Structure 1
Amino acid sequence: MNLLVVKANNRPSTQATSPKMYDAFIEEVNKNDQVNVTVYDVYEEKMPYLGQEIFDAYVKLEGHEQLTEAENHLFTEQSKVRELFEAADAVAFVFPLWNLTIPAKLQTFVDYVFSAGFTFKYDTEGNMIQLMPEKKIILLNARGGVYSTPEMQPMEMAVNYMRTSFGGVMGMEIINEVIIEGHNQDPSKAEEIIAEGLEKVREAARNLK
């Protein structure tokens, strides 16, 4: 199995929980010699935000025109992400909930692959056809508050967004989802909450085949 792990938090594990999840997942999955692991750290990569430049670059490429330095860089970075994503049998996203949503750097990664002609297309009647339904997705998320209750769930736009994008629109199978929540809201139980969550993260890594 080719596994792509997308790391989306550059805070140290001593200060944040999703980096702890990343460390636990990587440590466990590296014990499995049947899994080939590639890590893409969105904070280590120079990923320009998606905008008009990429559309201009596509037009120029079709016309065999020379790209500007900025256009060439954006196209190169998007191509790198797409090649890694396409080569992976499974993709694990490790990310926090920040201000009710995902980090902007992770949003850029999603923007690079959430594209007609790459992960989906439309037929002549306008129906969506999903192009990578065989790909497996793992979502590993940390959020300091409790958002799993009925009244809070609509406010959570990180896991909901990732689940809807990859599982819904792109039609990929979400094979595991581990959420650690409430450790900041109830500091007295933080150690227990995090420990239980990290064991579930390790189990998700062990279940990969």
Structure 2
Amino acid sequence: MTNVLVVKANNRPDGVSTKMYETFMAEAAKVEGLNITTFDVFEENLPYFGQELFNAFGKAQAGEELSEIQAASLAAFNKSREALSAAEVVVFAFPLWNLTIPAALQSFIDYTYGAGYSFKYDENGNLVSLMNDKKYIVLSARGGIYSTPETAPMEMAATYVHNVIGGVYGMEKLEEVVIEGHNADPANADAIITAGLEKVQAAVQKLAQIAVK
């Protein structure tokens, strides 16, 4: 069995990246050999990463009672890392909101981004990735067009995920599907979305090839 973690990062029922998530899940259900778990970053209601977590570390080590927010922060830290550690393939389904990723997805990344866990530093101070044995898939949607030379520098959602998950954590990119321009070109929105969802289905088939190895 291949353990697949799907990180769902859109709580809008009609969101295009939500449709990408739903399409992926429906298609993946047809594939044998996949053990699929969803980590919905909105449903998890992760506290923002910050000092409360560090206070929780100190209190837990000293055996002291944690406040409610400290306990929630520590639980979010543990659950996020446990989910990521158990996965062989991680699928990120998210939109571009205000040029970047949703804050809830940022929280998940903040909890899993850490020296000694997802990367380390060698004796010369160079970053060494620690998750080279994992693969990842990006499913992202953006209503505007951010794939031109003029607009690409403004896109900080998929680019950020690649920089962190592929660059820092060292996971191998298995596939990327981006649906874009459906808001900029409403007359062709249905065709744009349909074509993108077909690519999501094709991405599952690439994952299926891993499952049978």
Normalising by structure 1, report the TM-score.
0.96
Structure 2: distance between partners of 1:167 and 1:144: 24
Please state how far the C-alpha of 1:67 moved relative to its aligned partner: 2.1
Residues 45 and 104 in structure 2, CA contact (< 8 A), matched pair in contact too: no
Residue matched to 2:148: 149
Q: Which amino acid aligns with 2:65?
A: Q
Q: Which amino acid aligns with 2:5?
A: L
Deviations 1:128-182 (A, max 9, x none): 2211111111000000010000000000000010010111111111111000000
Residue matched to 1:81: 80
Structure 1 range deviating more: 123-132 or 70-79: 123-132
Please state how far the C-alpha of 1:63 moved relative to its aligned partner: 2.9
Residue matched to 2:168: 169
Please state how far the C-alpha of 1:64 moved relative to its aligned partner: 3.1
Please state how far the C-alpha of 1:60 moved relative to its aligned partner: 2.3
Residue matched to 1:32: 31
Structure 2: distance between partners of 1:176 and 1:64: 45
Q: Which amino acid aligns with 1:9?
A: N
Deviations 1:103-146 (A, max 9, x none): 00011011111111210111333122211111111000000010
Please state how far the C-alpha of 1:50 moved relative to its aligned partner: 0.2
Structure 1: distance between partners of 2:37 and 2:169: 22
Q: Which amino acid aligns with 1:4?
A: L
Structure 2: distance between partners of 1:132 and 1:63: 31
Residue matched to 1:7: 8
Please state how far the C-alpha of 1:66 moved relative to its aligned partner: 2.8
SS of 1:199's partner is helix
Q: Which amino acid aligns with 1:153?
A: A
Residue matched to 2:117: 118
Structure 2: distance between partners of 1:89 and 1:158: 23
Residue matched to 1:200: 199
SS of 2:56's partner is helix
Residue matched to 2:70: 71
Normalising by structure 2, report the TM-score.
0.94
Q: Where does 1:89-128 land on structure 2 (aligned, <5 Å)?
A: 89-128=88-127
Structure 1: 5+ residue runs without aligned partners?
Answer: none
Structure 1: distance between partners of 2:93 and 2:18: 8
Structure 2: distance between partners of 1:74 and 1:5: 21
Please state how far the C-alpha of 1:54 moved relative to its aligned partner: 0.9
Residues 91 and 137 in structure 2, CA contact (< 8 A), matched pair in contact too: yes
What percentage of residue pairs aligned between the two structures are identical?
53
Structure 2: distance between partners of 1:146 and 1:46: 30
Structure 1 range deviating more: 122-131 or 2-11: 122-131
Please state how far the C-alpha of 1:202 moved relative to its aligned partner: 0.6
Aligned pair count reads 207
Q: Which amino acid aligns with 2:184?
A: Q
Q: Which amino acid aligns with 2:182?
A: H
Structure 2: 5+ residue runs without aligned partners?
Answer: none
Please state how far the C-alpha of 1:200 moved relative to its aligned partner: 0.4
